[in-house]
Structure 1
Amino acid sequence: MIKPQEHFHGSDLEKIEAVYGIKKEDITSFSANVNPLGISPKLRTALADRIDAITGYPDREYTELRTAIANYIHADRNHIVVGNGSTELISLFIQITCPKKAFIMGPTYSEYEREITLGGGSSHYYRLEEEADFKLDVKALEKELSADFDLLVICNPNNPTSSAIPVSDMRKILDICKQKNIYCMVDETYVEFTEDINQVTSVPLAEYYNNIIILRGISKFFAAPGLRLGYAICGNVDLLREVNKKKNPWTINTLAAIAGEIMFSDEEYITKTRDLIHSERNRIYNIIKECKNVKVYPPTANFVLVKLLKEGITAADLFDAAIRKGFMIRDCSTFPFLDQKFIRFCFMEPEKNTRLLELLLEILN
C-alpha cells in the first residue's frame, strides 16, 4: 500500500495525481465539500455575455455586488464588506482587532490559528466533546471563556464535525462575550447547506450586536472557489470602516463581482442545491448509522464525520482504498482532538455517493 507522505486537502488533486498516478480528471473529490451541481447555470450562460467588463475597473465600493448579497441574506448593505475570499477578510479582521489571546472551538479549520499567530497572538482551543456528538455546551463554554480572551472563533456549521450551534445559543454566546469585552468571529461557510438556515445563521444578530463579524464565501455552496469572492457581515460601523481603510482597492476582479451579482439571484439553483443535500444527507446518515463498525455524528452541513471502530482499520487505510477507486475522502487525523480513526466526506450526486458507501462499508463490514 502507498502510504501518503502528507494529508491531502480537497484542492490537492495535482499532488494526488503525482503520488498515485491517477489523473485528476478521474478523481471525484469527496474531500473538497463543494456543491456537486457545479456552478449556477444562470452564471454559466450570463457571464460570457459580459466578458467585455474586464476592460474597465470594478466599482471601488462594489455597490451592485453588495446589494445583491444584501438581498440574498436579508441584511443591510451597509453592514457588508467584500473581499478576495473569506481568507482575506479573516486576515484583515485579525490585523485590525489584534487579538492577543484567542479561543477557538475545535476540532476545526486551521486557518484561524494561522492568522492569529501571524498577527502576534496566541490560540487556545475549546474542545467540543465527542460524547456529545461535538455539540456545544454553552454553560461549559462560559466557564472557560475568561475575560483575558479577546477573540472567540466559531465555525458554524463546524468543519469537520458538521455540528451546528442554533441561533438561540449564539445569542447567549454573544451576551457572554459582550460582558467580557470579547469579539466573536463566526465562519458561516457551510450555513447555506443546513436544513433550516434561519435556525442557524447569525446574520440577523449583526443588527443588534457590535461584537460579531460573520464570514461567508462562494467556494462551497456556489461551487466557485476559483473566483475568490468572500464577504463579511458586521453591524459595528467603526470596525467596518477600519476594514475598508486597510483593504486594498479592487481585490475582487470585475468578472468575480459580476458573477456574484448573478449567482446570488439564481433561486432555482439555490433551491435545487438545498433539496439535493437535504435528501442525500438523510439517506447517507441513515445507511451509515446501521454499520456497527463505525460511529457517525449527525450532520447539519453537506458533509459527515465518521469514526472507525473496527480494529486494524485507520483513516489512511480507507483513504488509500477509496483513492484507488477514484474517490478522495478526508483523513481527519490532522484536526485538533481527532486521530487516525476519523474520516470526513461530503455529499455528491446520489450515484457517486452510493458507490463510495458500498466501497467503505465493504471494507468496514
Structure 2
Amino acid sequence: MIKHKDHFHGSDLEAIERVYGIKKEDITSFSANVNPLGVSYQLRECLASHIDAITTYPDREYTSLRNCIATYAHTDASNIIVGNGSTELISLMIQIKSPKKALIIGPTYSEYEREVSLGGGSSFYFALQEEDDFKLNIELLCSKLTSDIDLLIICNPNNPTSGSIHRKDMRKILDHCKRNDIFVMVDETYIEFAPDMEQISSVPLTNDYNNIIILRGISKFFAAPGLRLGYAICGNTDLIKEINNKKNPWTINSLAAIAGEIMFNDIEYINSTKQLINTERKRIYTYLDGVSNIKYYPSTANFILCKTLDDTVTSNDLFEAAIRNGLMIRDCSTFPFLDDHYIRFCFMSPEKNDELLAVIKEVCNR
C-alpha cells in the first residue's frame, strides 16, 4: 500500500511499477498531460530519413528552425530563442533577471519557485481562490504588484487549475507591471490545447511591450518530451541578445531541430489534436455533471482539476482506485493552496477516458 506522503509526477512510471507491481507498459498516465495521439504523423514517417544530420553540428543560429517557429507562432524570427526544453529557458531567464522578489500566481508548477531560489531570490504566491473557480482577480493581483516585486510569473493556461487569462486582461497586467518596473514571464506550455487560443495567447503583446517573455515547448502538445526542444518569444532585443550570449551553443541536437520543423508543419496532426481535446473536454464535462460529490473547474488546457465534495473521499482514495485499474491520475495535495481533495487528470482517448470516469463515479458515489 502506498503511503500518503508519496506522490508521483506524470513521468514516474518506474516508481509506480516498483510500488504497485504494475508494469509501466500497462499504465495509462493521465498525469503527464501529454497529447494522447502520440508524436506527429509526419514525424513518424520522416525523421529516420534525416539520420545523417547527426554527422554534422547544428546551425549555431538555428535559422531554419526559428523561421519555422516564427511562422507557426505568428511572430518574427528575430523574436525567437530556442533552448533545450522550456526548462532551460526558464532557468536562463531567471538567472539573467536575478529577481530578489518574484510573485507567482498559484497553485502552479513548482519549477518556477525552485529556479528563483537557486538564484538567491524569494518567491511569494498570489493565491487563486477556490470560491472564484480559481479565476484570476486582475484588480486584486495588480494591488499586490508593487515596486518591490522584480518578476511576475504566470502559467497560462495554468497547471493544475487549467484556467487561463485572456489577452485583454494580460494587457492590463503588463501596463501595471510596466509602471512598476516589473518583468513578466508567461509560460504558454498548454496554449495550443485552448479552444480560444487566439484570445489567450500573449504573443501579439510582444510587439507592444518589452517587459514580457513567453515560453513554450513541444513536450505536451506534440507529445515529444524526450526531444527537449523549447522556445521563447520576446520583443526585447537586448534581453534576447543577453540570453543568447549566456546560453551554451548547440543545446538542441540536429535531429531535434529537424523534428521541430516537421512537427510545426504537420497541420493534420495539429487539427486532429485540437478536435480530439475539445470534443473530449465537452464530453467529460457532461459526464461529471452526473457524478455525485465531485466538482470540476472550467478547463482551457488538456486536463481538468476536480475536487471531491465528500469529506470521507480523498485525492489519495481516487489515486488508489485509479492506479489499481492501471490508470494514473495526479493527486494534487502537494500543490500550494490545494488540499487532499483535489485531483487532476488529462484527456486521453475516449475509451481510456471512459475507464477513468467510471472509476471516479464508483468512488464518489459509494
TM-score by shorter chain over 0.5: yes
CA shift for structure 1 position 196? 1.7
Alpha-carbon distance in structure 2 between the residues aligned to 1:129 and 1:285: 21
CA deviations over 1:237-282 (Å, ceiling 9, x no partner): 0000000000000000000000001000000000000000000001
Letter in 1 for 2:188: E
| Whole-Å separation in 1 of the counterparts to 2:286 and 2:173 | 32
Distance in 2 between the 1:5 and 1:334 partners? 9
Find the aligned partners of 1:43 and 1:74 in 2 and give their Cα distance.
22
Per the TM alignment, residue 5 of structure 1 is displaced from its structure 2 partner at its CA by: 4.6
TM-score normalised to structure 2 length: 0.99
Higher alpha-carbon deviation: 49-58 or 311-320: 311-320
TM-score by length of structure 1 reads 0.99
3-state SS, counterpart of residue 108 of structure 1: coil
Residue equivalent to 1:299: 299
In the other structure, the counterpart of 2:146 is 146
Give the secondary-structure state (helix, strand or coil) at the position aligned to 1:47.
helix
What corresponds to 2:155 in structure 1?
A: 155
How many Å separate the matches in 1 of 2:109 and 2:289? Answer: 25
Q: Which residue of 1 aligns with 2:351?
A: 351
Aligned to 2:51: 51
Contact 1:4 1:19 in 2 (8 A): no
- Which structure 1 segments of 5+ residues have no match? none
* Paired position in structure 2 for 1:240: 240
User: How far did 1:292 drift?
Assistant: 2.9
Match of 1:94 in 2: 94
The SS at the match of 1:307 is: strand
Structure 1 segment 70-219 matched on structure 2, within 5 A: 70-219=70-219
> How far off its partner does 1:311 sit?
2.4
Determine helix, strand or coil for the equivalent of 1:116: helix
| 2-structure distance, mates of 1:258, 1:66 | 11
Partner Cα separation in structure 1 for residue 2 and residue 123 of structure 2: 35
Task: After superposing the two structures, state which structure 1 stretch, 100-109 or 139-148, moved more.
Answer: 139-148
Aligned-residue offset at 1:4:
5.2
Aligned counterparts of 1:293 and 1:5: Cα–Cα separation in 2: 24
| 8 Å contact kept, 1:3–1:316 | no
Q: Report the Cα distance in structure 2 between the residues aligned to 1:28 and 1:292, rounded to whole angstroms.
A: 25
1:81 is paired with a residue whose SS is strand
CA distance in 2, matches of 1:311, 1:117: 35
| Equivalent residue number for residue 40 of structure 1 | 40
Once residues 182 and 292 of structure 1 are traced to their aligned partners in structure 2, the CA distance between those partners, rounded to angstroms, is 44
8 Å CA contact 2:292–2:361 kept in 1: the answer is no
Tell me if 1:363 matches 2:363: yes
Q: What is the match of residue 7 of structure 2?
A: 7
Match of 1:278 in 2: 278
The answer on whether the counterparts of 1:151 and 1:185 sit within 8 Å (CA) in structure 2 is yes
Q: Which amino acid aligns with 1:309?
A: L
Residues 192-230 of structure 1: per-residue CA shift (max 9 Å, x gap): 000021110000100110000000000000000000000
SS of the residue corresponding to residue 344 of structure 2 reads strand
Alignment partners' CA distance in 2, 1:363 and 1:7: 20
In 1, Cα distance between the equivalents of 2:6 and 2:113? 20
Question: What secondary structure does 1:213 align onto?
Answer: strand
* 1:164-210, Cα deviation, whole Å (9 max, x unpaired): 00011001000000000000000000000000211100001001100
Residue 337 (structure 1) aligns with? 337
Deviating beyond 3 angstroms after TM superposition, the runs of 4 or more aligned structure 1 residues are: none
State the match for 2:225 in structure 1.
Answer: 225
Conserved in 2, the CA contact under 8 Å of 1:304 and 1:346?
Answer: yes
Shift of 1:290: 2.7
State how far apart, in whole Å, the 1-side matches of 2:254 and 2:142 are: 44
User: What SS does the corresponding residue of 2:333 show, helix, strand or coil?
Assistant: coil
1: distance between equivalents of 2:289 and 2:63?
47
Is the 8 Å Cα contact of residues 163 and 301 (structure 1) preserved in structure 2? yes
1:273-327: CA deviations, max 9, x gaps? 0000000001101211332301110111100000011121111111111111000
Between 1:284-293 and 1:274-283, the stretch displaced more is 284-293
Taking only the aligned residue pairs, the percentage that are identical comes to: 68
Matched to 2:289, the amino acid is: K
SS, match of residue 19 in structure 1: helix
Root-mean-square deviation over aligned CA pairs: 0.8
| Amino acid in structure 1 at the alignment position of 2:2 | I
2 CA distance for matches of 1:287 and 1:311?
22
Secondary structure in 2 matching 1:220: coil
Q: Deviations over 1:142-184 (max 9, x none)?
A: 1111110010000000000000000110010000000000000
The one-letter code matched in structure 2 to 1:311 is D
Does the 8 A contact of 1:54 with 1:254 survive in 2? yes
Please, which runs of 5 or more residues in structure 2 have no aligned partner?
A: none
Q: Deviations over 1:61-97 (max 9, x none)?
A: 0001001100101101000000000000000001111
Deviation at 1:3, TM superposition (A): 2.8
1:64 aligns with 2:61: no
Written as runs of structure 1 = structure 2, the 5 A alignment for 1:15-26 is: 15-26=15-26
Q: Does the CA contact (< 8 Å) of 1:3 and 1:320 recur in 2?
A: no
